Amino acid sequence: MMRILVCLAVLLAAPATTASSDATPTAERPRIGLVLSGGGARGAAHIGVLKVLERHRIPVDVIAGTSFGAIIGGLYATGLSAGELEEQLLAVDWEFALSDTVPRRLRSLRRKDDDDNFLVKFKLGVNDGEIGLPPGVILNEHFRVLLREYARGGATVTDFDELPIPFRAVAADIETGEPVVLGEGSLVQSILASMAVPGLFPPVKLDGRLLVDGGIANNVPIDIARAMGADILIVVDISSQPKPQAEIESFLDVVSQMVTIMTLRTAEQQMATLGPRDVAIRPDLKDISTADFKRTPEAIPFGEAAAEAELQSLAALSLNETAWAAYQAGRGQMSPTPTEVDFVRLDNDSALDNRVILELLDVHPGRPLDPERLEEGIIKVYGLDYFESVDYELVREGGRTGLEVTARERSWGPDYLRFGLAIQDNFEGDATYNAAISYTDLGINSRGGEWRSFLQVGDDPQVFTEIYQPVDYGQQWFVLGNVTARSLNAPLIDPDRNIIAEFRLKAAEFFLAGGRNLGNWGRLAFGAAYEVGDVSVRIGNPAIPTGSFEEADLIAVFQIDTLDNADFPRTGLATNIFYRNGLPILGSDATDDQVQIELFKAWSWGANTLLGSAEFGTGFNGRATAQSLFELGGFVSLSGFSRGELTGRHVTQAGAIYYRQIGGRGGVLLNIPIYMGATVEAGNVWQDLDDFAVDELIVGSSLFLGAETAIGPIYVGGGVNTEGATSFFLFLGQFF
């Protein structure tokens, strides 16, 4: 995606004239209007038509477009050629563009923490105690970024008649259903309003009206182009036809059929008004549906073929080479984005202090304006999870250029609930099932303090609550405090690895820490923890010693997280270095120091990924307790063993996980990636570090199928190791 944006920035930066009069036809020829209908992914056919018009020197003097037609028409109106539009469209990552997830590399470590605890990605908003849902399945922030980059040259244009080709976008008022013609204001906002499919994308609020996709009101805006002064129209209609009854099977089919019928009704009314000199082009797009965005390249040649079939009618509109050169020179491209801004204005309706947002934007009056850095800052602000949308415009006031940023708090609630489920089962009686719910209260103060609480029920019940407080407006320094109450089962295993009893551990922990965030990639924290609890025999000989315990520790943590995905990463690094110093002076039963290092690194090529892992942990300088021992066993942890089957004061393990995506790449809007993979690990635990020996390393391996689902990553497979242990497993949740 960034390659697309950089290329477009270069294309749009080419200097040229901007006056619309340059594109005005001379008295010797009629004024030609181009009408581009909506049709979702089928809209790429419009580019094919434009290629034919340019190839045969047919000028366009005004453009009216709806939905995808507004996207292509609006960008063409800024001066992009058909070839340039095709080049960029072919490179679009539609899965990313039509998603609502901020790239993980641009999210803060705090927001990356939200991926922990196997929580469902979908969030329910909470506002004044009421649960709310977002106004659209996709909040289109990524598509907004893409459009801003495409239309960068027209960033300061507020009258669409001042574009190289005058342009109108058509939307619909969701309150009345009436068509709304957009010819001024923000070009990007107007396009977004025109393509805001109800339920899929959120409505766009402009001038007090709530606007949605114009297809439901006027999908082929012929009357709009005529009102712009067009004498002859070239109309490209890519409307879908209704499906036969036999093909209507799912809920989505029913919704699609309803929208198709609504748009066809207005389209037929508009097409009936065409005159004898007008040219209608209706590409045969075969089975390409409105949602087949990954098939958009296939639609371009269908548009070309349909336009070539109408060349006999189009030939009368063709210019000679001299007139065409004059038209092209007059049309040109928009002027480049200003290199500096004289002022920055922020419209922020959240409880978050403006200084927090401005620190992330990192734009300063009088300094060079870096468009890519500005876009990245906008996405970082959006990634705070406070806002429904974060947008900007370049404005001209009194001869000065300013940056105006608008940040709109989430209407369905800045606070949110998340749910989750975790399952581990080896089909031999060793299974755990846990369900969780978390509540995050964002913006408890203007510096971005937050309160998060977490409840887990099941085999390992847990209650957690935490206050997190940034110290500075840049949110680099922070303090936090949390309390955890937990209960879990732990096996007692003899030297032959037989489970001879099962303990029930109950504990409460108090933790205070402070630290520094290292950009979006790392964190350094120091703190103190105090834990009390007791251990009882749940299954087995009741004479086994049990009792209460007490631990007090100083703790230091260094984390790096640049993984692009928390479930099935393809690139990036994750490192966790943990140091614990026991404090017997405070009554701690564990008096030893402990160091643990964990590392994950991902490499990818094509559909393949290799994830390397390493772990080292050791205790020293004192006495360890059962609660402080390291564990191995389970999926990707010496596969073949049961979870936590090996325990020791020292641990070493290294491994490799390979997986290949074998499914879920055909769609965009509904997409569940499926993977097939294998793992190999080597490691062991020791009670005494002097006992470490390479020939005592145990090697485990597994084969698995995995899926990245709405409730978290799921793995099903089987494992074996050199100790002869084998297991089958069902695993729901993160393994790192």
| Closest C-alpha to 651, from 710, 604, 698, 605 | 698
Please determine, for residue 167, whether its predicted confidence score (pLDDT) is greater than 60.
yes
Residue-by-residue DSSP string for 530-598? EEEEEEEEEES-TTS--EEEEEEEEEEEEEEE--S-SSS-SSEEEEEEEEEEE-GGGT-S---EEEEEE
Least confident of 9-13, 522-526, 636-640: 9-13
User: CA neighbours within 13 Å on the CB side: how many for 299?
Assistant: 31
Q: Looking at the DSSP assignment, which residues form a beta bridge with residue 556?
A: 526, 579
Distances from the Cα of 423 to the Cαs of 276, 363, 466, 730, in angstroms? 68, 46, 25, 7
b/e burial code for range 391-404 (CB count within 10 A of at least 16 → b): bbbbbeeeeebbbb
Mean pLDDT of 686-712: 88
- Given a contact cutoff of 8 angstroms between Cβ atoms, the answer to whether 114 and 104 are in contact is no
Please determine, for residue 349, whether its predicted confidence score (pLDDT) is greater than 80.
yes
pLDDT (tens digit per residue) in 88-129? 888 887 777 777 777 888 788 888 887 766 567 777 778 777
User: CA neighbours within 13 Å on the CB side: how many for 194?
Assistant: 34
The band of 263, judged by pLDDT with boundaries at 50, 70 and 90, is confident
Please determine, for residue 436, whether its predicted confidence score (pLDDT) is greater than 80.
yes
The reported pLDDT for the residue numbered 338 is 61
Please determine, for residue 10, whether its predicted confidence score (pLDDT) is greater than 60.
no
Q: Looking at the DSSP assignment, which residues form a beta bridge with residue 120?
A: none
Token digits of residue 405? 């940023």
The reported pLDDT for the residue numbered 229 is 94
pLDDT (tens digit per residue) in 132-150? 777 766 777 778 878 887 7
Token digits of residue 187? 């070009």
pTM to 2 decimal places: 0.78
Least confident of 22-26, 359-363, 395-399, 719-723: 22-26
| Closest C-alpha to 193, from 221, 207, 33 | 207
The band of 253, judged by pLDDT with boundaries at 50, 70 and 90, is low
Give the full edge-to-edge strand order of the sheet including 343-348: 343-348, 400-409, 387-397
More confident residue, 536 or 581: 581
The band of 541, judged by pLDDT with boundaries at 50, 70 and 90, is low
**Helix or strand or coil: residue 379?**
helix
The band of 13, judged by pLDDT with boundaries at 50, 70 and 90, is very low
The reported pLDDT for the residue numbered 158 is 81
The reported pLDDT for the residue numbered 719 is 92
The reported pLDDT for the residue numbered 20 is 37
Please determine, for residue 19, whether its predicted confidence score (pLDDT) is greater than 50.
no
The reported pLDDT for the residue numbered 443 is 81
How does the average pLDDT of the chain come out, rounded?
Answer: 84
- Given a contact cutoff of 8 angstroms between Cβ atoms, the answer to whether 623 and 590 are in contact is yes
Please determine, for residue 666, whether its predicted confidence score (pLDDT) is greater than 70.
no
Mean pLDDT of 286-302: 86
Please determine, for residue 645, whether its predicted confidence score (pLDDT) is greater than 90.
no
More confident residue, 40 or 598: 598
